[in-house]
């Protein structure tokens, strides 16, 4: 348990529900950290032919699967709703039509079982994925320590926040254009690689030379903001040069050089921010935190302990929603049953 009084952190099991984009998830978490069950149904195959998430298709697929996913999460936990203390659901940000499916499911379950409903910010969920560990391990790993410098890198967001305590964020900066994940996805498309772009670039980059091309690094000195559109344009320029000459693209070298530029900017800026704001530790969260080069580069520096979730918790899942939901539950946060989704809800 956490190092505060028992009152501040009550014992509770939270059922989490996530449906903000193209993953349908349900999970049960005990006391904000212990993962009892976690079920995720990915829609990647459905969207791959469109080269990105098709919102209508996503919401219809959530409707088809969500009750079965919730049932599975409860079954795997050997629990029914009577063993649960609250239902946490992603309220936003995300695709409106997808969010509504999870929200309506959570409301229905809350009403039927008389359980409290807690709307959770999806970005906050990503952050809390670093608190989660399998509940049956002999010893809980240490929880991240405040103040924490948090880099959030997902398909829709790239931002730096100083986290001074549970649920307390100071926003420092964000991308001025593309999110890091979006840049991976767009550059993958330029290189003819499959959706989702992040994992495809990572695989292609493994065979390439990260120094083959010196792509620009937007440092944006004097701010904690990021920019990836110039980098994307620089890759596009090289692609055009090869196309004009009718030569095959050096996909592996381009992928490796692009990835190196993204990783360099993200790691350098986050470590610098941790130094300037005197953070105790660093936390990296969101889909792009699954990137091998990013993980290795963060872990190679020895100045700060870096919390990066295990791969299965990097991309969208409901365990992180249940974990963040628990800390809201502990604070007394309860939402009404007419809660609306917030497709553009910022973290702070």
- 92 backbone dihedrals φ, ψ, rounded to 5°: 160, 175
- 235, 254 in Cβ contact below 8 A? yes
Q: What is the smallest separation between the CB atom of 118 and ligand KG4, expressed in angstroms?
A: 19
Nearer to ligand KG4 (CB atom), residue 39 or residue 330: 39
- Both structure tokens of 25: 């998830």
Contact call for residue 257 and ligand KG4 (CB under 6 A): no
Among positions 102, 116, 198, 208, the unique one binding ligand KG4 when judged by CB under 6 A? 198
Contact call for residue 21 and ligand KG4 (CB under 6 A): yes
CA gap 330, 12 in Å, rounded = 9
Among positions 16, 102, 199, 309, the unique one binding ligand KG4 when judged by CB under 6 A? 199
CA gap 24, 17 in Å, rounded = 8
Cα 255 to Cα 6, 31, 241: the distances in Å are: 50, 41, 16
Which region among 76-84, 149-157, 225-233, 323-331 touches Zn ion (by CB under 5 A)? 149-157
Nearer to ligand KG4 (CB atom), residue 29 or residue 290: 290
Q: What is the smallest separation between the CB atom of 65 and Zn ion, expressed in angstroms?
A: 18
DSSP code, position 87: E
Among positions 97, 102, 155, 250, the unique one binding ligand KG4 when judged by CB under 6 A? 155
Residues 264-323 that bind ligand KG4 (CB under 6 A): 286-288, 290-291, 315-316
Q: What is the smallest separation between the CB atom of 85 and ligand KG4, expressed in angstroms?
A: 26
Read out DSSP for 92-144?
A: ESS-HHHHHHHHHHHHHHHHHHT--EEEEEHHHHHHHGGG-EETTSSSPPPPP
Nearer to ligand KG4 (CB atom), residue 203 or residue 249: 203
Which residues fall within 8 angstroms of residue 30, CB to CB, at 6 or more apart?
Answer: 11, 12, 13, 36, 135
Contact call for residue 197 and ligand KG4 (CB under 6 A): yes
Which residues fall within 8 angstroms of residue 188, CB to CB, at 6 or more apart?
Answer: 194, 195, 196, 197, 198, 200, 201, 255
- 157, 173 in Cβ contact below 8 A? no
Contact call for residue 325 and ligand KG4 (CB under 6 A): no
Contact call for residue 43 and Zn ion (CB under 5 A): no
Residues that bind ligand KG4 (CB under 6 A): 21, 154-156, 181, 184-185, 196-199, 202, 286-288, 290-291, 315-316
**Residues lying near Zn ion in the complex (CB under 5 A):** 154, 316
């Amino acid at each position: 348990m956490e190092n505060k009084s028992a009152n501040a952190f009550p014992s509770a099991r939270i059922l989490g529900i996530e449906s903000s984009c193209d993953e349908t998830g349900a999970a049960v978490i005990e006391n904000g950290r212990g993962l009892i069950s976690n079920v995720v149904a990915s829609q990647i195959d459905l969207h791959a032919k469109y080269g990105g998430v098709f919102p209508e298709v996503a919401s219809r697929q959530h409707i088809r699967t969500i009750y079965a996913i919730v049932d599975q999460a409860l079954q795997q936990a050997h629990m029914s709703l009577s063993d649960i203390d609250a239902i946490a659901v992603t309220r936003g940000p995300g695709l409106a039509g997808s969010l509504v499916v999870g929200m309506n499911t959570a409301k229905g379950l809350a009403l039927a079982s008389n359980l409290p409903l807690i709307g959770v910010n999806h970005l906050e969920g990503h952050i809390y994925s670093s608190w989660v560990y399998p509940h049956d391990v002999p010893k809980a790993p240490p929880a991240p320590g405040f103040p924490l410098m948090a880099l959030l890198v997902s398909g829709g967001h790239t931002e730096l926040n100083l986290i001074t305590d549970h649920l307390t964020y100071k926003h420092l900066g964000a991308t001025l254009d593309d999110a890091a994940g979006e840049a991976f996805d767009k550059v993958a498309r330029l290189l003819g690689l499959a959706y989702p772009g992040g994992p495809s670039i990572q695989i292609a980059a493994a065979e390439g030379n990260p120094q083959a091309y010196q792509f620009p690094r937007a440092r944006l000195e004097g701010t904690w903001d990021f920019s990836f559109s110039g980098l994307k344009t620089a890759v596009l320029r090289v692609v055009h040069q090869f196309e004009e000459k009718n030569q095959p693209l050096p996909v592996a070298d381009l992928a490796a050089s692009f990835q190196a530029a993204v990783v360099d900017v993200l790691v350098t800026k986050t470590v610098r921010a941790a130094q300037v704001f005197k953070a105790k530790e660093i936390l990296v969260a969101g889909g792009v935190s699954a990137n091998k080069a990013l993980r290795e580069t963060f872990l190679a520096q020895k100045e700060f302990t870096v919390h990066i979730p295990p791969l299965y918790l990097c991309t969208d899942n409901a365990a992180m929603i249940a974990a963040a939901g628990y800390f809201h539950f502990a604070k007394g946060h309860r939402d009404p049953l007419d809660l609306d989704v917030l497709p553009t809800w910022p973290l702070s």
